[in-house]
Amino acid sequence: MPSPLAIGLVAHDDKKAALVAWAEAHQAFLKDKALFATGTTGGRILQALPKLNLTRLKSGPLGGDQQLGAMIAEGRLDVLIFFVDPLSPQPHDVDVKALIRMATLADIPFACNPATADLIVSSAS
């Protein structure tokens, strides 16, 4: 039996509510996937959807972004959904850029907003 699709979930502070809403709208798709999320984002998703198979990593600024990047580099993450806030400065911007670079280099599907995440779900279903 093939392993479930591994999906990374992360969102900047002002986009966490949007990612939780997106996850709620797509819980049927997410329920049988292996989900990995940075600490705060993962906590918010699990609060709304406690039955998901979600592993919480460290908070993004404390290494969670780098953990997701390492998973991509090791071929252990199939999709990255990262709701980015382009209007707020991020104190750990270097980590964010490194994560985006890893997703691009590994050529995995990468969604930075709900519209793109919806396309990934519809193409994978």
Domain of 34, CATH number, reads 3.40.50.1380
Residue positions annotated with a catalytic role = 65
In this prediction, residue 95 carries a pLDDT of 81
Does residue 1 fall inside a structural domain? no
In this prediction, residue 71 carries a pLDDT of 97
pLDDT by position in tens, the chain (length 125): 567 899 999 999 999 999 999 999 999 999 999 999 999 999 999 999 999 999 999 998 889 999 999 999 999 999 999 999 888 777 777 888 889 999 999 999 999 999 999 999 999 87
Radius of gyration of the chain (CA): 13
In the sheet with 79-83, reading across from the earlier edge strand, the strands are 54-56, 34-37, 6-11, 79-83, 110-111
Number of domains in the chain: 1
- What is the span of the domain harbouring residue 33? 6-124
